[in-house]
Amino acid sequence: MDFAHCLPIWNKLTADQQEHILSVSEYRRVRAGTILHDGSPECMGLILVSSGQLRAYMLSEEGREVTICRFFERDICLFSASCVMPNMQFDIFISAEKDCELWIIPACLYKNLMNESLPVASYSCDLISHHFSELMWLMEQIMWKKFDERLAKFLLEESALENTPSLTITHDKIANHMGTAREVVTRMLRYFQNEGMVRLTRGSVEITDVKKLALLQGE
Amino acid sequence: MDFAHCLPIWNKLTADQQEHILSVSEYRRVRAGTILHDGSPECMGLILVSSGQLRAYMLSEEGREVTICRFFERDICLFSASCVMPNMQFDIFISAEKDCELWIIPACLYKNLMNESLPVASYSCDLISHHFSELMWLMEQIMWKKFDERLAKFLLEESALENTPSLTITHDKIANHMGTAREVVTRMLRYFQNEGMVRLTRGSVEITDVKKLALLQGE
């Protein structure tokens, strides 16, 4: 996909801005498994995904990983551009989960665009708010309430009880069992699905990676 | 302080925008201790602090609180305006730590401003990035590495050893002891200071609330 089709706000840029961003952005192909950013404060620029799939995650000292988010076709990843976000002092890792075609946009150029173009500023604002909300949710459910652990445990116990990896149960029912809201269950199940641990269909949850799910149960 | 002096981007608004925001924003005085937002999804609007001090925090089921950030004079709090930030699905609490004078800006008006004014969009973008970075840091250090626990333990042990609440030690030395970077130590000590647990002066750390610090040590 060419740059213009990749960047969601391309049509909202002026001809000058389009020419400039195109002339300085760098096209790159990377293999699945490549680590693009390793938590160093180095500012590599923004990554625009033309094809493939990226994953941003945190890594604990004991090697546990928590996925912060994924980036697909036409998504832009700001986490690799610490200079665009003030006070970016955290360690985040970005890896290619599939073979990818990427565009690297220099951070200084993007920063300038944000300061002169309303569409770029609004778009970035939406992006960051979205990430912020996701992060708060993750923090709340995973780090704090350990809801991932509890849900993993529940699914594995149900599966053992019913003697099948494919549970016929609604999200509502699970929520009742666990004393939480349906939305929380649905969102965590989707997180599990993205991590390849379950497959969701209407009215059922199929466990596709028992081992990975069991690892979540904690000590 | 009047509205115009409170809002950092006031001078970058058009006369029409100024008039509009002024006519719909609501002035409110609240006493220290008032809970302004209690984690409900209700969108009360943005809070602009004219005087006083607000605290935004998360509350666990066991009643443990983690301060996400504080808001002072001329700060704007977006967390109470879930409709401005997409997918805001987390429970955040906002309380007045001191007697406050506040302006409540309707969220829909602010949302419109963000879509039509570059200064408002840029300003909001910077705000949210800042909160995002802070949150990542908190998540990493507190939720994940339990660095708050470890630092609290270290300070209390040193204090017992030296038999004084006032430790003569540099952040560099603490960082060496704990196998981390000076910046991380400084930032966490400031977090402790904001929470009223220590007082920092050049070359020394004075423990001002042993009990609160001891509570951090965990089980």
pLDDT tens-digit profile, chain B (219 residues): 789 999 999 999 999 999 999 999 999 999 999 999 887 777 789 999 999 999 998 876 666 778 888 999 999 998 888 777 665 566 789 999 999 999 999 999 998 998 899 999 999 888 888 888 888 888 777 777 788 989 999 999 999 999 999 999 999 999 988 888 888 899 999 999 999 999 999 989 999 999 999 988 764
Under an 8 A CB cutoff, do A129 and B85 touch?
yes
Q: Which residue has the higher pLDDT, B60 or A88?
A: B60
Q: Among the CATH numbers 2.40.50.140, 3.30.70.380, 3.10.20.310, 1.10.10.10, which is that of A145-216?
A: 1.10.10.10
Between positions 159 and 188 of A, the ones with CB within 8 A of B are 183, 187
Residues of chain A neighbouring B147 (CB-CB closer than 8 A): none
Classify domain A3-127 at the CATH superfamily level.
Answer: Jelly Rolls (2.60.120.10)
Q: Which letter, b or e, does each residue of B109-127 get, where b requires 16 or more Cβ atoms within 10 Å of its Cβ?
A: bbbebbeebbbbbbbbbbb
Contact (Cβ atoms closer than 8 angstroms) between residue A69 and residue A132 = no
The reported pLDDT for the residue numbered A89 is 60
pLDDT tens digits for A41-75? 778 899 999 999 999 988 766 667 788 889 999 99
Between positions 16 and 55 of A, the ones with CB within 8 A of B are none
pLDDT tens digits for A166-192? 999 999 999 988 888 888 899 999 999
A136 touches chain B (CB under 8 A): yes
**Domain segments of chain B as ranges:** 3-130, 145-216
**Cβ atoms within 10 Å of A17's Cβ, excluding its own:** 18
Would A3-127 and A145-216 be classified into the same CATH topology?
no
The reported pLDDT for the residue numbered A100 is 97
CATH code given to domain B3-130: 2.60.120.10
**What is the distance between the alpha carbons of residues B152 and B157, in angstroms, rounded to a whole number?**
9
- B-chain residue closest to A85, CA distance: B129
The reported pLDDT for the residue numbered B88 is 59
Preferred mutation among B12, B84, B135, B139 to probe A, highest tally of A CBs within 10 A: B139
Confidence of residue A142 (pLDDT cuts 50, 70, 90): confident
Question: Considering CB atoms only, which of A121, A130, A143 is closest to B139?
Answer: A143
Percent of chain A with pLDDT over 90: 58
The size of the A-B interface in CB pairs under 8 A is 114
Preferred mutation among B13, B122, B191 to probe A, highest tally of A CBs within 10 A: B122
Contact (Cβ atoms closer than 8 angstroms) between residue A77 and residue A49 = yes
Percent of chain A with pLDDT over 70: 94
The reported pLDDT for the residue numbered A87 is 57
ipTM (interface pTM): 0.75
Strand, helix or coil for residue B117: coil
Under an 8 A CB cutoff, do B89 and A131 touch?
no
The overall average pLDDT reported for chain A is 88
**What is the distance between the alpha carbons of residues B156 and B160, in angstroms, rounded to a whole number?**
6
Residues of chain A neighbouring B58 (CB-CB closer than 8 A): 139-140, 144
Residues of chain B neighbouring A124 (CB-CB closer than 8 A): 125
B61 touches chain A (CB under 8 A): yes
**Cβ atoms within 10 Å of A76's Cβ, excluding its own:** 20
The reported pLDDT for the residue numbered A218 is 63
The reported pLDDT for the residue numbered A86 is 60
Residue B34 CB-half CA count within 13 A: 15
The reported pLDDT for the residue numbered A134 is 83
B115 touches chain A (CB under 8 A): yes
Mean pLDDT, residues A205-217: 92
Q: Which of A5-9, A140-144, B156-160 has the lowest mean pLDDT?
A: A140-144
Exposed/middle/buried for residue A132 (C-beta within 10 Å: 0-12, 13-18, 19+): buried
- B-chain residue closest to A124, CA distance: B125
pLDDT of A29 strictly over 90: yes
Residues of chain B neighbouring A17 (CB-CB closer than 8 A): none
